[in-house]
Amino acid sequence: MRYRHFSLFCGRRVIIILMLLFFLPVTFQGFARISWQKQQLIKPNVLLNGNNLGGLTVEEAGAVLNSLALELRVAPVSAVIDPVTKGVIPDLSGIELDVEATLNLVMQAKAGTKVEPVVIDLPAEVSLASFPLHPIYQGNSQKPQVAFLINVAWGNEYLQEILEVLQTADAEATFFLVGRWVRQNQEMTRLLASTRFELANHGYSDLLSMSKADFSQALKDIKQANEIITEICGVRPTYFSPHKGELSENVLKAAAEEKNRTVLWTIDTVDWKLPGVKVMSEKIFANATGGSLILMHPTAQTAELLRQVIPALRAVGLEPVSLSELLCPSRTRLGVKIP
């Protein structure tokens, strides 16, 4: 009996000893690593936003980064209703220094190198999603971007050149397709769908007066266009723009029912009247700012207009992007400068 108790006691003790032998080295290694990190010095002449962090301890560098975080922080901008158009102006995130990620880069940096701060988005309290029944006439003016909105219900003979100009310039655009046109021009539609350009909904029939349509008529028209565009192009539109910009409460509700955001424009080139490239260019530059939505159609003058205005817009710091990119609230995405 005593031997049995002794064996049981010894067995437990052996297990405890073995566990200690296994875990203690790991624990000591962890303590040693933490101690080493605290004592580690940043390599000489490591620069971050004009600050030379070389020779600082990790704790000292962290203190500098926490102070820098206060300087770099940019407050987010909430979505608001424009008192003039009654449309919604999209939100824009703020930015904040990611202290931990930036500190890791600083610790790993080689001597004499410049480290770029890692920043993250701060979402706005009120977003575009808070206003599903309001149209959009413009993007957030703090984004140095514009969007070309090209409505397609005719002008097949000009589309190829327009696509080539955009692709050559590496510029984006969003094409709003009339469903009836898609059904009648499936080969051209597939060509358009094979490009990287964003496709959107311009209703099924441009003969329907949206301002006079009841809810069921508006819903049917928008739904039909979504279905045919999805069938032929393999992508379901996110945005809807009514023919002639005709709006009503029924139209806005129908678009929202179809999970389409209703979009109009900031600048109308009125290119369908063929006013001349010079006239249209002057109109764009007299009114274009960050967030402008520029309406176009496939006409005999549109390709040349794009050929001229794209480099001119870039020269003043405005990049032509897709509508989705323009409305994206992230301030850290490509094309938005970080202070």
Mean pLDDT of the chain: 89
pLDDT at 26 over 70: no
User: How does DSSP classify residue 301?
Assistant: T
Burial class (CB in 10 A: 0-12, 13-18, 19+), 168: exposed
Strand pairing category for 174-177 and 198-201:
parallel
What is the rounded distance in angstroms from the CA atom of residue 160 to the CA atom of residue 148? Answer: 16
- Answer whether 272's CB lies under 8 Å from 299's CB: yes
Who's near 142: CB < 8 A, 6+ residues apart? 77, 92, 290, 291, 331
- What local confidence, expressed as pLDDT, does residue 12 receive? 56
Count CB neighbours of 130 within 10 A. 14
Euclidean distance between CA atoms 162 and 157, whole angstroms = 10
* Distance, CA of 78 to chain centre: 16
Look up residue 232 and give its amino acid. I
264, 237 Cβ separation under 8 angstroms: no
- The pLDDT, as a whole number, for residue 206 is 84
Q: Is the pLDDT of residue 21 over 60?
A: no
246-279 per-position pLDDT tens digit: 999 999 999 999 999 999 999 999 999 999 999 9
Beta strand pairing call for 119-122 and 293-296:
unpaired
What is the chain's Cα-based Rg? 29
Choice among 27-36, 99-108, 125-134, 291-300 with the minimum mean pLDDT = 27-36
Assigned fold of 132-327 = TIM Barrel (3.20.20)
What is the tens place of the pLDDT at every residue in 40-50?
899 999 999 88
In contact, 322 and 198? CB cutoff 8 Å: yes
15 or 302: which carries more pLDDT confidence? 302
Q: Which two tokens stand for residue 326?
A: 């323009």
Mean pLDDT, rounded, for 297-326: 97
Position 4 scores a pLDDT of 46
Buried b / exposed e over 1-11, threshold 16 CB at 10 Å, is: eeeeeeeeeee
3-state secondary structure of 169: helix
Neighbours of 76 (CB within 10 A): 19
Q: What is the mean pLDDT of residues 20-38?
A: 48
Compute the average pLDDT of residues 311-318: 97
CA–CA separation, 133 and 249 (whole Å): 8
User: Which tokens hold the place of 66?
Assistant: 């926490």
Give tens-digit pLDDT for 152-185. Answer: 999 999 999 999 999 999 999 999 999 999 999 9
Question: Could you give the angle at the alpha carbon of 235 between the alpha carbons of 234 and 236, nearest 5°?
Answer: 130
Predicted confidence (pLDDT) at residue 148 exceeds the cutoff of 70: yes
What confidence category does residue 106 fall into, taking pLDDT thresholds of 50, 70 and 90? very high
Provide the pLDDT for residue 1: 45
pTM, whole model, 2 decimals? 0.83
Structure tokens at 338: 């970080």
Q: Where are the domains of the chain?
A: 47-129, 132-327
- pLDDT of 151 > 80? The answer is yes
Dihedral angle at the C-alpha atoms of 333, 126, 199, 322, nearest 10 degrees? -30
Q: Rounded CA gap, 119 and 104, in Å?
A: 13
Q: CA distances (Å), 305 to each of 16, 70, 139, 148, in order?
A: 81, 44, 22, 12
Rounded (to 5) percent helix, strand, coil in the chain: 45, 15, 35
Angle between helices 215-233 and 249-257 (to 10 degrees): 40
For 239-299, the DSSP string reads: EE--GGG---HHHHHHHHHTT-EEB--SEE--GGG---HHHHHHHHHHH--TTBEEEE---
Residue 6 has pLDDT above 50, yes or no: no
